[in-house]
Structure 1
Amino acid sequence: MKNEEYSQSKLNRVKRGAVRATYEKEKINNILDAGFLCYVGYIYEGKPITIPMAYARKDNKIYIHGSTGNRMLLSILESKETSITVMHLDGLVLARSGLHHSVNYRSVTLFGGLKKVEKDEEKTEVLRWIVDQMIPNHWDSLRPMYKKELDRTLVVEFTINTGSAKIRDVGVNDEPEDYDLDIWAGIVPIKQVAEYPIADKGKPEKMKIPDHILDYYKGNQ
């Protein structure tokens, strides 16, 4: 049985390096779930801008948040659509010539529509998802949200209408005549790692680090 895919169109079709493209929803979701930072594009006063945002994914929805005066969130809500990109750098590909240097990566580009999350209980649940996408099981260790905090927070739901992923996970691709040169070539693997947690000043300095935070540290060394 074929995996479910996003249909291809001029909007989401990968043209350059098409052999590295995938439209499979499961592979795209796996790339999304491996991170918690996305890049959101918008137009503000006629100028294109892209900024990073924390996010959470649930089914075919991406959730982001900011202050009620956040110009990016207000702009994309007004336009009713945007594009979101997520990318993970996996390695530096060092070739025998400068032209053939590259990187190994996993990237996703999404296109979709937007709506504002209105109800306090729904906003709270989304914020739980965002925090837990960053550090699993962290939300339940925190104090409850104040009403005034929710009132100052704008939460946006982005529905994925279509998307595509592009993945490079191979070695050096040099010119045939260059392989006999006395030049080192290869891959430098890259990964994001967690270092040992540092307590905030005050009571946390005397407290045991929660198990779920240590689990995250150990799982991301």
Structure 2
Amino acid sequence: MSSIPEAPSYPVDRTNRVKRLHQRGFYDHETVHRLLDAAALCHVSYVVDGQPYCTPTLFWREGSTLYWHGSSASRMLRNLSTGEPACLAVTHLDSLVLARCGFNHSADYRSVMCFGQAKLVSDPAEKERALVMMVDRFFPGRTATLRATTVQETKATAVIAMSIERASAKIRAKGVADDEEDYALPIYAERLPVQTVIGAPEPCERLPPDVARTADLAEYQKGRLLEDALGEAYRRAYADAAEG
């Protein structure tokens, strides 16, 4: 009999194993990467001289490597520049859950935690490519249409790369889940779905009258879910990069 090969997954140990409600934990690449690619903002946690910090920043993924950027003078990037342990986290909030007791109030969510050694990207070619994808990952092909980045702007921007050594996704999609004896209580309960939806574009007031919205923004239309737009932009950007 032939066996079905297991899906590629990240190693599981005490660092990334989901401790509580372990059935909500996922470690396979497909789930982890899908949730990462559907997000723009992450939080990076690290320690400086014994003091924990957590910094929100834009990020993007290439294979099993995560990139983020910031000012060359920032505390976060200075601390991570030599290969420091870091944790990058992403959360998608899907609902607020009102139950019949305080203990069972909850939220539906999809989250990811990634662990690795964060290092400053020092190779000029890798940094140049990363600064292109910093924009094109969200808006495919846009960098080629922009004013060229100056040498000083490049020096002022630092890029960090972190190979994912361990990762776990945790998903709750349960809605209202009360104790069985509580369902008969005369107490209102419900699930409040939460979505991040793209609003109507607001063009810059100083645009010349003959400048139109460009093709790199095709994914970002009013009323569309942001995570769907980000996921599609990611796929298109890296398909274009592979062809190039």
Structure-2 residue corresponding to 1:122: 126
Deviation string, structure 1 residues 53-105 (Cα, Å, up to 9, x no partner): 11010001000111111111111234522111111111111111121111111
Shift of 1:114: 2.4
Pair 1:16 & 2:51 matched: no
- TM-score in terms of structure 2 length: 0.84
Q: Pick one of 102, 108, 119 that aligns with 2:106.
A: 102
Structure-1 residue corresponding to 2:225: 220
Q: Pick one of 150, 154, 167 that aligns with 1:146.
A: 150
Taking the aligned partners of 1:183 and 1:175, their CA distance within structure 2 comes to 13
Structure-2 residue corresponding to 1:44: 48
My pick for the range that moved more, 204-213 or 112-121, is 204-213
Taking the aligned partners of 1:22 and 1:204, their CA distance within structure 2 comes to 49
Gaps of 5+ in 2: 227-244
Q: Percent identity?
A: 36
Structure-2 residue corresponding to 1:166: 170
User: How many residues align structurally?
Assistant: 221
Taking the aligned partners of 2:51 and 2:87, their CA distance within structure 1 comes to 15
Taking the aligned partners of 1:93 and 1:134, their CA distance within structure 2 comes to 31
Runs of 4+ in structure 1 displaced over 6 angstroms?
Answer: none
Q: Is the 8 A contact 2:82 2:119 kept in 1?
A: no
Taking the aligned partners of 2:103 and 2:209, their CA distance within structure 1 comes to 50
CA-based RMSD: 1.8
AA at the equivalent of 2:70:
G
Deviation string, structure 1 residues 174-209 (Cα, Å, up to 9, x no partner): 011110122222211111111111122312566322
My pick for the range that moved more, 126-135 or 156-165, is 126-135
Taking the aligned partners of 1:205 and 1:63, their CA distance within structure 2 comes to 36
- Report the secondary structure of 1:180's partner residue: coil
- Report the secondary structure of 2:144's partner residue: helix
Structure-1 residue corresponding to 2:201: 197
Shift of 1:140: 3.2
Structure-2 residue corresponding to 1:74: 78
AA at the equivalent of 2:225:
N
Q: Is the 8 A contact 1:40 1:50 kept in 2?
A: yes
Q: Pick one of 86, 96, 112 that aligns with 2:90.
A: 86
Q: Is the 8 A contact 2:32 2:169 kept in 1?
A: yes
Gaps of 5+ in 1: none
Taking the aligned partners of 2:117 and 2:111, their CA distance within structure 1 comes to 20
AA at the equivalent of 1:185:
A
Deviation string, structure 1 residues 111-153 (Cα, Å, up to 9, x no partner): 1112221233322221222223334443333222111111111
- TM-score in terms of structure 1 length: 0.92
